[in-house]
Amino acid sequence: MELYGLTARAVRDRIVAGELTAEAAARACLERIAAVEGKVHAFVSVDAEGALRRAKEVDAALARGERPGALCGIPIALKDNLCTAGTPTTCSSKILANYVPPYNATVVERVLAAGAVPIGKTNLDEFAMGSSTENSAFGTTRNPWDLERVPGGSSGGSAAAVAAGEAVMALGSDTGGSIRQPASFCGVVGLKPTYGRVSRYGLVAFASSLDQIGPIAKDVADAALLLGVIAAHDPRDSTSVPEPVPDYVGQLEADIRGRKVGLPREFFIEGMDPEVEGAVRRAVEVLAGQGAEVMEVSLPHSRIDVKDGQLSAYAVAAYYVIATAEASSNLARYDGAHYGHRTAVSHLQFAHGRDVPIEDATPLVEMFSRSRAEGFGAEVKRRILLGTYALSSGYYDAYYLKASKVRSLIRRDFDEAFERADAIACPTSPTAAFRVGERADDPLQMYMGDVFTISCNLAGIPGIAVPCGFTTGGLPIGLQLLGRPFDELGLLQLARAYERVTDHHQRRPPL
């Protein structure tokens, strides 16, 4: 098997055993990128020089007899909204096209300390706002299974890179499904941890109460391996929780007999692709065949209604008020004055400390508005406008406050469901990957594609997407498992139990 087809554990073990060098592993990924990146466009930037330098450092440390880290020599891709010292972090936006952070995100520090070799920064929907990786200032990422289809979003670059073998594993971020949905579309494993399980320090914020960083990998064990590295309390992140971190890998192979798996009646809806529903129900039957007890549960405030062929959902409505309001606040810092893109206006000389005649001075507001108009794409502008409106005087109570109340009800529904069930099983997305451009002109249709993933973020609970089948057209389908807060281990065990007796995760796209 080519190196790009190996799991992260296999690559690491060969490096530690001396059968492979970290440099050779990095070169293999760089060669794979050279071969397929022109088709996939998973990366915003590839740091070949830095990757090879880092790989040689890992090899030198092993030669000195130093203890190898958990990710020793593994080439890893980083979503380009994670700050990386000395290399650009663009969020796939023109406004940050030339921004180079002076520090690493905590998760980047942790993967480096574990011996990983960052290979490049992956493409995303601008500022993580999107479900298809079409909203990037640097071009659309393609799904390795069908280059005419999207890889999902916003972590589409990370999922596509892993699926295409351009990286052995990757980090993404998930605000409303942005790890799980692209993992489902690309036939890989994606895990969104509990809010507070992984530090957000150094993650460029979209919606601070929803964002979470997590692993994207070829199988469940690799996801467990990476989660074990990045999960830890961080005093630099006030929302990071000092919760003990289990040995995810060591406890992965558990017997699931007696585990209770809930099927939410609200998530099996009219209009869902029958192939998706069939694959998910068959996956649940596989879990039942291993001794899990399947039961129906209800999440009434995550209800999805279909009327006259149109979908509506409380969770989606609440999410797109809360997320856009927080985005409006977070993105106010990109004003053209502090860092990032500034409009080219010849007489804005105040930036250089020179006096400007008052009659020649351009008002600051013009500089701010022109910088933001030039730097932000259409979807980001749309969400800033929606969020600013929701927070504006006279509308706060009608929109943001009401959405926050719905969010509390959604969390209560999950708490009640988890009194009966250990985990909840449902589709990751109503459909498999859709065609590039198919939903680009219909934001509402795009937003409704997140109906099964958004509730997880609103409730702050963990969720994992695992390959569970393929459509007749050869597109991957993902099973989603949702769990109690900080029970990532339980989800990983269930997902691994499914994976042990199926082979969907072993299939690779015919690139």
Q: Give me the half-sphere count of Cα atoms (radius 13 Å) on the Cβ side of residue 459.
A: 29
Is 404 one of the annotated active-site residues of the chain?
no
User: E strands of 107-159, at which residues?
Assistant: 117-122
H-type alpha helices, 146-273: 156-163, 180-186, 220-230
Is 260 among the catalytic positions?
no
Q: CB of 229 within 8 A of CB of 110?
A: yes
- Closest to 179 measured CA to CA, from 216, 209, 206, 148: 216
199 counts as catalytic: no
From the candidates 92, 136, 154, 371, give the one annotated as an active-site residue: 154
Point out the catalytic residue in the list 79, 121, 192, 218: 79
d(CA 88, CA 99): 6
Q: How far apart are CA 372 and CA 456, in angstroms?
A: 32
Written as one string, the DSSP assignment of 290-350 is TTPEEEEE--GGG-EEEETTEEEEHHHHHHHHHHHHHHHHHGGG-SSSSSS-----TT-GG
SS3 171: strand
Give the C-alpha distances (Å, rounded to integers) separating 67 from 14, 17, 63, 506, 508: 15, 12, 10, 30, 33
Output Rg (C-alpha) for the chain, integer angstroms.
22
Contact between 271 and 427 under an 8 Å Cβ cutoff? The reply is no
For residues 187 and 146, give the distance between their C-alpha atoms in angstroms, rounded to a whole number.
Answer: 12
For 288, other C-beta atoms within 10 Å of its C-beta total 13
* Angstrom distances, CA of residue 122 to CA of 65, 144, 160, 202, 510: 33, 14, 9, 16, 21
Tokens representing 392? 């504006």
- Tokens 């998760």 locate to 107
Beta pairing partners, 216: 170, 190
| CA dihedral over 76, 206, 246, 296, signed as positive or negative | negative
Which residue of the set 178, 240, 371, 429 is catalytic? 178
Which residues are marked as active site?
79, 154, 178
